[in-house]
Structure 1
Amino acid sequence: MSLRSRVSIALAAGAVVAAAAVTPAVADDDWGDRGDWGNHQQQHHNPKLYKGVVTASSLALRAAPNRGGQIIRYAYQGEVVHIFCKTSGQTIQGNPLWYLLTDGTWAWGAARYIDNIGPAPRWC
């Protein structure tokens, strides 16, 4: 892969992260009672709809979806976290999925240690 291709991929990834950083402000909108259409919109566009509970005694939340990513903070067993989306990353005990969490900071948590509450998160 050429240097130009690598730079283009890196810039595109940065644009996706920047766009995602803007999205939570929209998530705080109150959908109110809009009938089925409002519920349908919430299910697909409201990142706070996706939740999970931490199952590990202490889970390192990282800057990248792998164990080499810088630790941003820790989440503890029983903590309910808000999940923005999921992606493939480093496989942890047979599970390659990682969740992008939106609790105060944007950080990745291994899905192996987060049980979904309700529907599974959408793909990033």
Structure 2
Amino acid sequence: MSLRSRFCIAVTAGALTVTAFAGPAVAGDDPGDSRSDFGQSQNHNARLYKGVVTASSLALRSAPNRGGQIIRWAGRGEIVTIFCKTNGQNIQGNRQWYLLADGTWAWGAARYIRTIGTAPRWC
């Protein structure tokens, strides 16, 4: 039986830090279990979501606000992988921000990312 990994996101000295900690094991966590989404390809992973950037250039940040350090830039049409969503700074009437998991953990304003398929879960 494997342990479910959960992530705690913390911003330290302007840098985004991801710390994993083990939680209780639950049914479906075993990668060999056919009910587990860990054993599926990324395209079918229920823990990840997809979105497309609608802004011409979108700053991806270390925190869900415009004051967060810019980690990288995403261009219009770029497909991004979304881990979860949270409320942050209001951007043109939208307070939701997505935590992106595209090699670097960074926050993108949901105002400029259109989800593809299912809406992301809350962080």
Instruction: Count residues in correspondence.
Output: 97
Question: How big is the alpha-carbon RMSD for the aligned residues of Structure 1 and Structure 2?
Answer: 3.0
Stretches of structure 1 that go unaligned for 5 or more consecutive residues are: 1-11, 23-30
Q: Which secondary structure state, in structure 2, belongs to the residue aligned with residue 112 of structure 1? A: helix
For residues 70 and 13 of structure 1, what CA distance do their matches in structure 2 show?
Answer: 15
For residues 104 and 13 of structure 1, what CA distance do their matches in structure 2 show?
Answer: 15
Q: Which secondary structure state, in structure 2, belongs to the residue aligned with residue 18 of structure 1? A: strand
Task: Indicate the structure with greater strand content.
Answer: 2
String of CA shifts for 1:77-119, please: whole Å, max 9, x gaps: 0000000000000000000000000111000000000000000
For residues 81 and 47 of structure 1, what CA distance do their matches in structure 2 show?
Answer: 14
| TM-score normalised by length of structure 2 | 0.68
Name the structure 1 match of 2:111. Answer: 112
Give the drift of 1:46: 3.9
Q: Which secondary structure state, in structure 2, belongs to the residue aligned with residue 66 of structure 1? A: coil
Percent identical pairs in the alignment equals 68
| TM-score normalised by length of structure 1 | 0.67
Stretches of structure 2 that go unaligned for 5 or more consecutive residues are: 1-7, 11-16, 23-30
For residues 46 and 74 of structure 1, what CA distance do their matches in structure 2 show?
Answer: 26
For residues 112 and 97 of structure 2, what CA distance do their matches in structure 1 show?
Answer: 10
Q: Specify the code of the residue in structure 1 equivalent to 2:51.
A: G
String of CA shifts for 1:6-45, please: whole Å, max 9, x gaps: xxxxxx864x94128x9xxxxxxxx79x4xx457x97xx7
Task: Indicate the structure with greater helix content.
Answer: 1
